Amino acid sequence: MEVYRSDPPTRRTTDRIKVGIADLAVGDRESRLSTSGLGSCVGIALHDADAGISGLAHAMLPAGEGKSDEAKYVDTALHALVAKMEGEGASRRRIRAKLAGGSTMFEFDSTNESVGERNVTAARQTLAVLDIPLDAEDVGGEHGRSLELDGETGDLHVRSASAGEHTL
């Protein structure tokens, strides 16, 4: 299986694929896709259990239509990730999603939504447009997260220094 990358490059070490900030990757059943440093960014985990194909995106901002760095933006990252998964044999009708991140890391004097809240909203909306069910999420709060997606089971392991560890 080819590991799909965006810039900065995704690193694969044996069965572990590290996904950087503004990055995405696709893996198979033997893969464990991981990312860290999720504050206001969102991690979007996709899994097709029948095909054994998983994908993980670490997106920074909500909307990037027309921009060249597709993995940086929630909407374009999701479209690209689904296309790459379908290229490896996944079926959109079988793909399931899990979402984490979208924290409010800093206080600003504004009545507008934080970047984290806007990222979560963009992820939910784009998943709805793609008709991909959102099975679980761990979003919001004021803490960072690290994620690891198990390519065999589709389990998303979420770790946070302040909120502990759990599995979605």
- Catalytic residue numbers? 41
Token code pair at residue 151: 């390519």
Residues in the chain: 168
What residue has token string 């239509």? 65
Peptide bond between residue 8 and the one before it cis (omega within 30 degrees of 0): yes
C-alpha closest to that of 56 among 129, 140, 158, 161: 158
Contact by Cβ (8 Å): 10, 63: no
